Amino acid sequence: MKDTQYQPRFIRHKDELEWLFMELYNDRHALRQLEDVMEAGYAARSGELKALDEQRLQDPDWYKRQDMLGMTMYTDLFAGTLNGLRERLPYLKEQGIRYLHLMPLLQMPRPHNDGGYAVEDFNRVDPKMGTNEDLAALTHSLRESGISLCLDFVMNHTASSHEWAMRAKAGEKAYQDMYFCYDDRTIPDQFEQTMPEVFPGTAPGNFSWCEEMNKWVLTTFHTYQWDLNYGNPAVFVEMVRSMLLLANLGVEVLRIDAVPYIWKQLGTSCRNLRQVHTIVRMVRMILECVCPAVILKGEVVMAPHELAAYFGTPEKPECHVLYNSSVMLNLWGALASGDVRLLKHQLDVFHSLPEHCWFVNYLRCHDDIGWGFDEAAERDMGIDPLMHKRYVYQFFAGDFPGSYAMGELYNFDPDTLDARTCGTTASLCGVEKALKEGDEAALDTAIDRVKMMHGIMMFQKGLPMLNCGDEIGQLNGWEYQQDETLAEDSRNLHRTAFSLENAALRTKEGTVQQRIFQAVADTAQVRNQPAFAPDSYVSTWDTGDRGVLALVRFGREQTMVGLFNFSAYDRRAVLNSLQGSFADLHTGEPVDVQHCLVPAYGVRYLVSKP
């Protein structure tokens, strides 16, 4: 007997879902299997989660609320296990966290697992961190605390030690067909002609030789990550089954990893293909039928003009939210150069996207900072793209004269001179160097940078997300270089174990930890202003100074201006043609928007007066 909640939702999507599936696969047997998986997934859903589904259907934009504050972390680095994390929920509640992204925690091989993005079993929590029951208990506790859990779902590939891969190695053709396996280099060489390499320096080529099968296997990212063949409907059906299992364990946000790569087609770049959008659209409809409390977050690290397609349309939506990586890297670029022009341009591009596009804003995450600036915009501004990129990554590695940063390069390519950057927010902003040199004045300035960077991240349109440890000024973990299982990946520099000792200092007046923790908390409180309502219009504003960025939030009840000084000197912002009278948010003093002083690496918030 069909459930009265599930069936109407399924009927609403049935025609489109079946049409898309048949267009892609032309396999009615596989379609029936998919629909059976969906119905079984709903039947296995708890009453508590079904109640959440109904609640979210009444509040579909819940993730856009202005009180949403996110945090991302590794379970093991923060608390060891899922049960250990449950014990530390008061720390998250203290900060007002409403959205928690735990880095990959499904069963993974060791030592090589790409930070958990090589998955051995999509249906099982890694034993080092707990059990599926522990995960369900955690999500229950999080819901009671008003926190939604986000987990990664790695759609593009499995670990080479996944059961499917092991059975493929054993010669089972049905499992070899779950991947891309070839007897010789004929087809792989054809793919290589148009398929870019992701890690040319550390993982060159897109195919790896498998001795057990005597075949070449497509491995876009690393040799131990085998790309799944979504041209095979069995792959899609089984991945949906695993996705619904996580949803039924209480996961409310599924971060689908490497979305643009999941469909492969000979003669193309194998990125951003039309079939990718068909798959994501089907996943969206499946979730809306089975577990509408669950939303999709896409990891789409592509040029801004390619992002809007991953949201779909208001009538046929795909992802609910995407990462705002382009603005993130331009924030750091502006900090290194003291020039906000590229940042302003990038924000203008995002503000021009359709209203339904919603982004997760952040400063740092588990990954590196890739310097994918808009080269056409750079040239228009008289900036040499290669020289600029080299300057920025050398600056944040501390290799440029006058740099205050202590970071490290990632994936340096001597042929293209491309490189990425690793490091924690505090270390990149100068806190680590100032402490190392015992320079109190430099430390004050570094903390100002940390405050300002968090200020602008939280002022943007979208959902702000902290990187765990940044709220207490956690520094780089250089000791990773002495661990042979970690040393080859410089991203481990900022994947550092959370320090309870340092966290305890957040309440001790005058410590670095207290000053940064309070600054982040104060910044989050600013979001309580009416101008942060989800429907507020956000725009940049010219300040007449390359060092100062102005963001203006036009709400129904209030207009609010954020002024952010990326330079090392006090600057005066001139906000020509901005209408109305304004006062400083914190002092209540009237402000002349034609002559507004913003201190070095400082922030000012101006609110409209009635």
**What's the pLDDT band for 596 if we cut at 50, 70, 90?**
very high
pLDDT of residue 415: 86
Residue of 134, 299, 368, 374 marked catalytic: 299
In which band, very low, low, confident or very high, does the pLDDT at 302 lie, cut at 50, 70 and 90? confident
C-alpha neighbours within 13 Å on the C-beta side of residue 252:
24
In 3D, which of 38, 72, 126, 59 has the Cα closest to residue 466?
72
Dihedral angle of Cα 549, 568, 471, 481, to the nearest 10 degrees: 120
Q: Decide if 144 is catalytic.
A: no
Q: What gap in Å lies between CA 523 and CA 291, rounded to an integer?
A: 34
- Per-residue model confidence (pLDDT) at position 307: 87
Which residue has better confidence, 1 or 381? 381
Query: Which is catalytic among the residues 76, 152, 252, 257?
Result: 257
Indicate whether 2 pLDDT > 70.
no
Torsion angle of the four alpha carbons 278, 280, 284, 287, in this order, in degrees rounded to the nearest 10: 120
Of 153, 179, 160, which Cα lies nearest the Cα of 109?
160
Cα separation, 518 vs 463, in Å, equals 20
* pLDDT-derived band at 388, boundaries 50, 70, 90: very high
Mean pLDDT of the chain: 96
Is 257 considered catalytic here?
A: yes
pLDDT tens digits, 403-444? 999 999 998 988 899 999 999 999 999 999 999 999 999 999
User: In the sheet where 548-554 sits, what is the strand order?
Assistant: 537-541, 548-554, 559-565, 603-608, 582-584, 590-591
* 491-540 pLDDT, tens digit each: 999 999 999 999 999 999 999 999 999 999 999 999 999 999 999 999 99
The phi and psi torsions of 188 (rounded to 5 degrees) equal -50, -40
Query: What are the tens digits of pLDDT across the range 18-53?
Result: 999 999 999 999 999 999 999 999 999 999 999 999
CB atoms closer than 10 angstroms to residue 315: 5
Q: Where are the beta strands (DSSP E) in 239-351?
A: 253-256, 295-298, 321-323
Residues 6+ apart with CB under 8 A from 266: 187, 190, 191
pLDDT digit string, tens, across residues 49-73: 999 999 999 999 999 999 999 999 9
Residues in contact with 563: Cβ distance below 8 Å, sequence separation at least 6, in sequence order:
543, 548, 549, 550, 573, 596, 598, 603, 604, 605, 606
Confirm if 464 and 458 have CB atoms less than 8 A apart: yes
Closest listed residue to residue 81, CA positions, set 124, 134, 117, 153? 134
- In tens, the pLDDT along 542-585 reads 999 999 999 999 999 999 999 999 999 999 999 998 989 999 99
Beta bridge partners, 228, equal 179
CB–CB of 41/248 below 8 Å? yes
Token pair 């203290």 is at which residue?
94
* Mean predicted confidence (pLDDT) in 219-228: 96
Token pair for 546? 């390359």
Structure pTM? 0.95
| pLDDT(201) > 80 | no
**Per-residue pLDDT reduced to its tens digit, 132-183:** 999 999 999 999 999 999 999 999 999 999 999 999 999 999 999 999 999 9
